[in-house]
Structure 1
Amino acid sequence: MENSFFNSVGKAGIGSRLRMLQEKITDDAANIYRMFGIDMQPKWFPVFYTLSQGNFTITEIAQHIGHSHPSVSKIVSEMVKKGLVTEGKDANDGRRNVLSLSGKGKQVNEKLQYQLVDVKNAVESILDNTRHNLWEAIGEWEFMLEQKSLLKRVQDEKKLRESRDVTIVPFEEQYSKAFRELNVEWISTYFKMEEKDYQSLDHPQEYILNKGGEILIALYKGEPVGVCALLKMDDPEYDYELAKMAVSPKAHGKGIGWLLGKAIAERAKARGGNTLYLESNTMLKQAISLYQKLGFKKVVGRFTPYERCNIQMELQLNN
């Protein structure tokens, strides 16, 4: 029945399958300890084994076995109550509390040596009779999850899937309301609307499109949820400016900002632009991170008409 379920749900059930495997092994481990006459819980093993190698502080044990300090502290308290561990001052540094196996703990450790040999041989017997080496696979999974957690990988997949329902389209009059409302919502959340904002948002045709700029709209399943403008600049250093980017809060996490930014950069390049400029504020950490991923770099010494601007960035389009 279990195999039927996991064959049906597939790899999405990995957490449940690993938990069931862990429960089977943990139950067996508890019975193995009893078989060897050892009064110890399986979860204590990493701490106990570490202390069998010498005296350590809770912090040192936590770092060594990769557990949290509170987790190790709780296990140590349980082992102290069982009389397996004692706590004392470091002979070389009286400020440090060190842990060591008690006399009872050392006796348990002697019994444990026979158990470790038999468990090791039993595990190797299983590995010898399986096509895939679980021990090596666990090491590979640990390495991969250190590089990027499962949570982050699922977030990336979710963003990729949802981004397939996003379409970037050129501005039309029907999107005037969305262009204004999304920007007003975004600006008002963090700052205050300024005169330059009202000019371009109330009259996009006059202040953006007629001056050689563009506006792009991001549609999610047909609904306008993101906007961004490309402004033509009258400047010897910069050709175009990325401005008025806003994404509805309900559409966050779908990669819409990235898609809009890439599309605006492509439009600027297609128009013969060499550099793309933008202004922002460092309190907008996610926005700054997005710009950096798009390839923007910080520049200084530029005049800005906006009070809220404290960082300026540029993107070389022909790199």
Structure 2
Amino acid sequence: MEKKFEELVGELNNCPLSVDILQQISLILKEEQDRECLCSFVHKSLDLLLVVERWVWKVLSSDYYDEWINEEHYQEFFYTVTSFNKNLIFNNHNITVDTKGSLLFCVSIDQITDIFTKLDRSTDINNPFINIISLWLDNHSHFLYDNPQYDIPPVIDYIGRHIAIKYFISKQYKLYLIELRQPHLIQSVFTAKFLFYIKTCSFYLFAYTYLSIKSSNYPYTADEMISYLSEDYLEIIHVHSYNVMSWNKELLNSIESVTKYRTGVGTAGPAQELFYVEVTNEMKVNMGGGNSSEQELIVVHEIPVDELYQFVFDQTKAKETSLMFGIMWFLHKKGRLP
């Protein structure tokens, strides 16, 4: 497998590039991220993965991106690499933060500048290019938020400041906020461009602001940010709070508060509250599973009560400590602890 991957990666810079090469690399990345040995694969193939990541940024920032943007196989390849990176961030604690950062941030400031220029010039509000860039920047945000100790490289500082000045404090961002203040929103409102501004840029700034506070390098003060957002945000919350009022009263009354706790004991440990509620299949209102266009792959696992205790200690199943605690609370409450 390692030899084959090396040969395939070596073909990336060939012109013209065979679609079969992209498909085979995608297949390997999909297979490896579904295995328990992803850590081993990353360590053995780090240099090759860096070539793949750099090649992606090179293509995304190239002048001929419009030649492939509507090609299904290219899109699938970029989505696969994005999914691989997201899995790398969340599910592999045996891989060092520096290794993850080297793969995620192997892009130059010039390349990012070219990418932002292409985003600005796009007249298609659902351009696949916008969606792809959003997913890559979302991965940056996930990583930065999950690793507050990470030293910000210059390219991330550049992206954060550019998003703050160019997109966040912009007329277009304000127009999208005003649109969200409307009481009845239809699905067509949430275009790729809309989500880039409201979701990707906001998320990136949240993660970047948290880190940049340490260097006092953020272009706006907290008071300026609050003043800019407060009126729209409060109105959005007010207008759409009717959604909660429309919930089934029986369901609302059955929600039980388990406990309140902090996710960490340091200054960065936010307070959280754990709730418990019993639901049935009859309460299901849609298929769920997340938004596939944003690579949200949410899988529901139905686990018999008799297997829950074993699930808690199964190290092959990724899970947060809050979930483990919640399960133990449930088993204790129901008298089902072994």
Q: Please tell me the TM-score bracket, short chain as reference.
A: under 0.3
Q: Which protein has greater RCO, CA pairs closer than 8 Å, 6+ apart? A: 2
Q: Which one has the bigger helix percentage?
A: 2
Higher Cα Rg, which structure: 1
TM superposition score normalised by structure 2: 0.19
Q: Which one has the bigger strand percentage?
A: 1
